A and B are shown apart, each in its own frame.
Chain A
């Protein structure tokens, strides 16, 4: 039995997941909460992006469950655990993880990128490109066989993806027909015709493309290095996938830290006015005056000094990296609550003058009840829009911060670190472009999907845009 490990960030992410599930359950029970979400769900562009986001989410979540696997040690009676915890995702893509080469290699290549002294079969030394240990290792004559091999594996993978797609669709349709007590075929027809307004066709098409393409790439990645390898020979595709968790953790945990401050301070400032308002305004103006990057940099420096002076507390690399990620999220959260706070203060000031709030006061309702029953639910849409819009900004910010060395720990897999490391490779002869391209591509996909989805959410929830 493997021993489960929970990092700080893991725990918080699961807390967040639980909170979201509770929220979804609550939304489903209240009709007035369901209404705007129905609008979100019928937005074609938004829902296609949601499918893409779903994939990222799955990988990120799988990467958040950590455990220490048992080492293969059949002699001893007691199980020994490896000292480095791995995640569920790591375990799933083990081949990618452990197949490291010596140094750079191009995508789909069978040989290293740099020339070396190779000892050939007859003992003579040749100055050439050595074969890769793992990449395309199954091919006898790569230069001629590679293209057909790629096509073969690719098509096979796509076919498997198609089968998986059919299974998933059948499952979903079966669930739906069970819930609506209709026949399977009629449910299928209904979904195909987009009858309920939800763009199922577009979503399923996206799912199909993603599953087929994803499966094909997955199959290929077991035999080749799909995006090449980096300087120390680690598979770039693996690194990019691992970075998903980092990006998502930063995008979501920061919000977790930021929300309580922004909510409480914003609502209090708007409702109570007077000296409470003055104090809170002073607080966020002061905080805002300090240039954001500098504040984050200064805080990270402080954290670094603290961590280096308390080395004993951070036993191994994994814990140290995770703590740094946690601190980064906390710092980002503590420095970014002012924007939302201002919006909430303005909205609360408007709501305070609404007649139903005055009616509540005339009915003797206490202030705290007014805040929780009348004000809070009516500012929720602003919070939601803000949270969803900020996500993409945070993912992009991580890249920039890592470049300045005030982002995540260098040992953590993140797109920022990949860009940082790969920047100098552009100047190499011949040029090494795949690390950079991979990082940008993945980051772009996640941020674009998040932006389009966020737009859909904002269009549904913003009362001014509502007709």
Chain B
């Protein structure tokens, strides 16, 4: 098993390299640094000097891939590709286009993102699984029929609606908790209540339906029939057999998103003015700050690949069929 894990870790490197190359192509080949400069500085009245100055300020005043003017190894290293893309591997994010240190920004902003994402995940999981179990328990009754339709209705409502109406109802009408903003330490709790609740509510429809499908797949299997033939009641059968077996795909599905929690939800953070990585990314996109967007893309990829790895490991730990073969 150890060699399997090692092999999966080694596979991550070509993946990251691929991501790097892809983003490099996306950012630098389709539009050259000159184009970028021209757009940032305004279209029409831009002199070559201004462009050059903009480029040198940000370190774009080098050739893309191959520098003829240097010698030896520097031909490769004094290029945009090396300086900008490869540096990411060492988590050297560099500076944003507005001059701030991206690395320290990331380190600072990831905590608020986690403060929202982790409770949302846990509460959401509990709510979805409970509702799904209830729907399965009452299957083939009218309760289930209306429950499923209810899930579809909840799913069809845009997430934006949940956020906006939630903010309106709770913030403006009921005025129970603040609508937006953030604070440090324990004060943060009153700021995260609303985003977490809204996050959970908007995900109930799709989540319950998905878990219900998983549970129904298990319920139709043969070993459940054997369990019933033993004399197990419906409730005991659901909890000791179906739930337990379905936890394997549920768990691995949760594990794969765990690392990406750091990235935060873009929409939630921006609506609720939470200073997390999500709003960081959105601001960078609207400001067209390529350096930040590049860094966040790379960070996101690393976290996703790490999530894949965790999933593989958790499968070997949790599923005895994989563990003991």
Chains A and B touch each other in the complex, with CB atoms below 8 Å apart: yes
Q: State the A residues within 8 Å of B (CB).
A: 45, 282, 285-291, 293-295, 297-299, 301-302, 304-306, 308-309, 311, 392, 396, 399-400, 403-406, 419, 423, 426, 436, 440, 443-444, 447-448, 451-452, 455
**Interface size range of chain B in the complex:** 35 or more
- Cβ of B157 and Cβ of A405 under 8 Å apart? no
- Distance in angstroms from A321 CB to nearest chain B CB is 18
Bound Cα distance from A305 to B27, whole angstroms: 10
Given A301-B285, A302-B26, A404-B286, are A290 and B31 neighbors across the interface (CB < 8 Å)? no
- Cβ of B30 and Cβ of A302 under 8 Å apart? yes
Which stretch in B15-23, B82-90, B184-192, B232-240 binds the other chain?
Answer: B15-23
Given A286-B18, A305-B36, A451-B155, are A298 and B27 neighbors across the interface (CB < 8 Å)? yes
- Distance in angstroms from B285 CB to nearest chain A CB is 5
Among B152, B293, B304, contact of A298 (Cβ-Cβ < 8 Å) = B293
How many A-B pairs have beta carbons closer than 8 Å: the answer is 122
Main secondary structure of the interface of B (DSSP, over half): helix
Bound Cα distance from A355 to B30, whole angstroms: 48
Bound Cα distance from A297 to B267, whole angstroms: 13
- Distance in angstroms from A458 CB to nearest chain B CB is 11
- Cβ of A309 and Cβ of B39 under 8 Å apart? yes
Q: Which residues of A contact B157 (CB under 8 A)?
A: 440, 444, 447
Given A298-B23, A451-B155, A455-B152, are A309 and B267 neighbors across the interface (CB < 8 Å)? no
Q: Which residues of B contact A440 (CB under 8 A)?
A: 157-158, 160-161
Bound Cα distance from A287 to B304, whole angstroms: 11
- Cβ of A286 and Cβ of B22 under 8 Å apart? yes
- Distance in angstroms from A392 CB to nearest chain B CB is 7
- Cβ of A305 and Cβ of B159 under 8 Å apart? no
Bound Cα distance from A311 to B42, whole angstroms: 13
Bound Cα distance from A127 to B297, whole angstroms: 55
- Cβ of A423 and Cβ of B156 under 8 Å apart? no
Q: Which residues of A contact B135 (CB under 8 A)?
A: none
Q: Which residues of B contact A295 (CB under 8 A)?
A: 297
Among B35, B149, B172, B305, contact of A305 (Cβ-Cβ < 8 Å) = B35
- Distance in angstroms from A338 CB to nearest chain B CB is 12
- Cβ of A423 and Cβ of B38 under 8 Å apart? no
- Distance in angstroms from B49 CB to nearest chain A CB is 19
Q: Which residues of B contact A396 (CB under 8 A)?
A: 158-159
- Distance in angstroms from A8 CB to nearest chain B CB is 19
- Cβ of B296 and Cβ of A399 under 8 Å apart? no
- Cβ of A291 and Cβ of B14 under 8 Å apart? no
- Cβ of B301 and Cβ of A282 under 8 Å apart? no
Given A286-B19, A299-B26, are A309 and B38 neighbors across the interface (CB < 8 Å)? yes
B118 located at the interface, meaning its Cβ lies under 8 Å from any Cβ of chain A in the complex: no
Bound Cα distance from A404 to B266, whole angstroms: 9
- Distance in angstroms from A278 CB to nearest chain B CB is 10
- Distance in angstroms from B287 CB to nearest chain A CB is 10
Given A282-B15, A298-B23, A452-B152, are A400 and B168 neighbors across the interface (CB < 8 Å)? no
Contact with A along B1-42 (1 / 0, CB 8 A): 000000000000011101100110011001100011011000
Bound Cα distance from A163 to B178, whole angstroms: 53
- Cβ of B297 and Cβ of A290 under 8 Å apart? yes
B104 located at the interface, meaning its Cβ lies under 8 Å from any Cβ of chain A in the complex: no
Bound Cα distance from A452 to B293, whole angstroms: 37
Bound Cα distance from A294 to B304, whole angstroms: 13
- Cβ of B158 and Cβ of A301 under 8 Å apart? no
With A308-B43, A447-B157 given, can you name 11 additional A-B contacts, CB distance below 8 Å?
A45-B149, A286-B15, A286-B18, A289-B305, A294-B300, A400-B158, A404-B266, A423-B164, A426-B164, A440-B158, A444-B158
B101 located at the interface, meaning its Cβ lies under 8 Å from any Cβ of chain A in the complex: no
Bound Cα distance from A115 to B296, whole angstroms: 47
Contact with A along B259-292 (1 / 0, CB 8 A): 0100100110010000000000110011010100
- Cβ of B38 and Cβ of A448 under 8 Å apart? no
12 contacts between A and B (CB under 8 A): A289-B19, A291-B297, A291-B301, A294-B293, A298-B293, A306-B30, A306-B35, A309-B35, A400-B160, A451-B152, A451-B156, A452-B152
Pick the 3 closest A-B CB pairs, nearest first: A286-B18, A291-B300, A448-B156
- Distance in angstroms from A371 CB to nearest chain B CB is 27
B153 located at the interface, meaning its Cβ lies under 8 Å from any Cβ of chain A in the complex: yes
Among B31, B158, B159, B263, contact of A291 (Cβ-Cβ < 8 Å) = B263
Bound Cα distance from A295 to B281, whole angstroms: 12
Q: Which residues of A contact B155 (CB under 8 A)?
A: 451
Bound Cα distance from A342 to B157, whole angstroms: 28
Least CB separation from B220: chain A residue: A464
Q: Which residues of B contact A286 (CB under 8 A)?
A: 15, 18-19, 22
Least CB separation from A392: chain B residue: B156
Q: Which residues of A contact B156 (CB under 8 A)?
A: 392, 444, 447-448, 451
- Cβ of A311 and Cβ of B15 under 8 Å apart? no
Bound Cα distance from A399 to B31, whole angstroms: 27
Q: Which residues of A contact B43 (CB under 8 A)?
A: 308-309, 311
Least CB separation from A308: chain B residue: B39
Q: Which residues of A contact B22 (CB under 8 A)?
A: 286-287, 290
- Cβ of B267 and Cβ of A400 under 8 Å apart? yes
Bound Cα distance from A285 to B308, whole angstroms: 10
Contact with A along B163-181 (1 / 0, CB 8 A): 0100110001000000000
Bound Cα distance from A290 to B281, whole angstroms: 14
- Cβ of B293 and Cβ of A297 under 8 Å apart? yes
Q: Which residues of A contact B282 (CB under 8 A)?
A: 404
- Distance in angstroms from B226 CB to nearest chain A CB is 21
- Cβ of A297 and Cβ of B285 under 8 Å apart? yes
- Cβ of B304 and Cβ of A291 under 8 Å apart? yes
- Cβ of B27 and Cβ of A405 under 8 Å apart? no
Least CB separation from B289: chain A residue: A301
Q: Which residues of A contact B16 (CB under 8 A)?
A: 289
Q: Which residues of B contact A304 (CB under 8 A)?
A: 39, 288
Q: Which residues of A contact B158 (CB under 8 A)?
A: 396, 399-400, 440, 443-444, 447
